[in-house]
Structure 1
Amino acid sequence: MQDRTEQKKQLRSRLRKLRDRLDEQMREEASTRMNDGLKRELDRLRLSKNRHMRKPLNIFSYLSYGSEASTAFLFEEGWKQGDMLLAPKVLADPPRMELRRVTSREDIEPGVWGIPEPKASCEVLHPENWPDLDLVLVPGLGYDLQGGRIGYGGGYYDRFAEQLEMQCAERSKRPLMAALVLPGQLEPEIPMDPLDLRLNLLITPEGILHIE
């Protein structure tokens, strides 16, 4: 039987190549449809916070880089609607992410490996306040219909999700965990380990999939 670590390594390699080679026109069309679905979901979440008026959201999202599904629309739409937008700043010792608030493009700079991240001057959202998040948008290479996800192998989002779960258990409140799924990223089954992050929402070009 193939070793789980090797299985994941090969799957990451295959999915990264598929994503990197995605036709640009297909990518643009898929992004437009996903953004339409994302806007509807954001509107639904705002109304669900208050039936009588749309309330701003607290959103944590990756800042897209390279061939990743673009999150530019999410940030522009969120800033326009008055949402609180947070993005990850990677720290090395121990390996972890800080959630820092970004209020405009001026708050963003190239970080580790050239990946965009918040500046050091940006406000930190401390873990005890993470349950106040409404939506978390995570990056990844592949997903399945059971909420499975395979990331890049660093474990940053899995560690974040584990700490988030501990905080949420004390508050009985937790955000939706979501992903933008480009063509070719949906797999029949993603090999998952017990502590791997699982998703509640897949935003695809064909529509939004809510996972029980």
Structure 2
Amino acid sequence: MQQDHTEQKKQLRSRLRALRNRLDEQMRAQAMKQMNEGLKREMDRLRLTKNKHRQGPLVIFSYLSYGSEASTAFVFEEGWRQGDVMLAPKVLANPPRMELRRVTGTEDIEPGIWGIPEPKDSCEVLHPESWPDLDLVLVPGLGYDLQGGRIGYGGGYYDRFAERLEKHCAEQGKRPRMAALVLPGQLEPEIPMDPLDLRLDLLITPEGILHIE
């Protein structure tokens, strides 16, 4: 049974990756424009709520896009422009995990493992105890469903991050919104999920933002 499930996920990853790689460039550009407009509205809304309670700048953790992924260039540019605290992942081995490091501009970013952009070693680390201070997390992936299901690349980095985040959030009674940028062709009727796979709160699509209950 487990083997069937693993094989099912493997085939789904392969199909979704091929689909994303083949996405028409004009369609991609139009979709990104619409998604960035939705993302800006969400960031403005979060900022407004935070300002009402005088809680300081937004704290956003986002992947640095690579290859055919939905681009996160806008979220970083907009965040820096607004004075938000922008964090990006640095992948570490033994044990495999991600560090959340603050990036204050493009000069803080360099090609890392497999050529994927990541923060430089000189960038300040946000320690796990402070993860509940995050307002928004943008998670990469290959496919999503309307129940907040997600299929990533199979490394489990974001699932492990979400599990640790949940522990600290439970202790502190607050948690960030988990979101994904959904390109055309990435929405599936149902994603096969494992118990520890992270679930999303928001799907940012070209048609608008879907809030998962």
Question: Which TM-score bucket, shorter chain as reference?
Answer: over 0.9
Task: Determine the structure 1 residue equivalent to 2:77.
Answer: 76
Please give the per-residue CA displacement for 1:139-185, whole angstroms capped at 9, x wherever unaligned: 00000000000000000000000000000000000000000000000
Structure 2 CA distance for aligned equivalents of residues 4 and 87 of structure 1: 31
Aligned ranges for residues 1-212 of structure 1 at < 5 Å?
3-51=4-52, 55-212=56-213
State how far apart, in whole Å, the 2-side matches of 1:135 and 1:52 are. 17
For structure 2, the residue ranges without an aligned partner over 5 or more in a row are none
Moved segments of 4+, more than 4 Å: 52-55
Work out the CA distance in 1 between the residues paired with 2:112 and 2:95.
Answer: 17
Q: Deviation of residue 48 (structure 1)? A: 1.1
User: Please, which moves more after superposition, 1-10 or 186-195?
Assistant: 1-10
CA-to-partner distance for each residue in 1:21-57, whole Å, 9 max, x for gaps? 0000000000000000000000000011133889520
The alignment's TM-score, normalised by the length of structure 1, stands at 0.98
How many residues matched? 212
Give the Cα separation in 1 of the matches to 2:196 and 2:189. 20
- Residues 53/167 of structure 1: CA separation in 2 closer, same or farther (3 Å cut): closer
- Structure 1: distance between partners of 2:76 and 2:151: 24
The answer on whether the counterparts of 1:180 and 1:203 sit within 8 Å (CA) in structure 2 is: yes
Q: Contact conserved, 1:19 with 1:67, CA < 8 A, in 2?
A: yes
Which secondary structure does the structure 1 equivalent of 2:148 belong to?
A: coil
- The change in CA–CA distance for 1:119 and 1:30 in structure 2 (over 3 A counts) is same
Q: How far does residue 64 in structure 1 lie from its aligned partner after superposition?
A: 0.1
Query: What amino acid sits opposite 1:166 in the alignment?
Result: K
Query: How many percent identity over aligned positions?
Result: 84
Amino acid at match of 2:98: M
The separation in 2 between residues aligned to 1:54 and 1:69, in whole angstroms, is: 30
TM-score normalised per structure 2? 0.97
Unaligned runs of 5+ in 1: none
SS at match of 2:161: helix
Whole-angstrom CA distance in 1 between matches of 2:156 and 2:41: 30
Aligned partners of 1:55, 1:209: CA distance in 2, in Å?
27
What code does the residue aligned with 2:76 have? F
Q: Rate the CA distance shift 1:50–1:105 in 2: closer, same or farther, 3 A.
A: same
Q: Which amino acid in structure 2 is aligned with residue 86 of structure 1? A: L
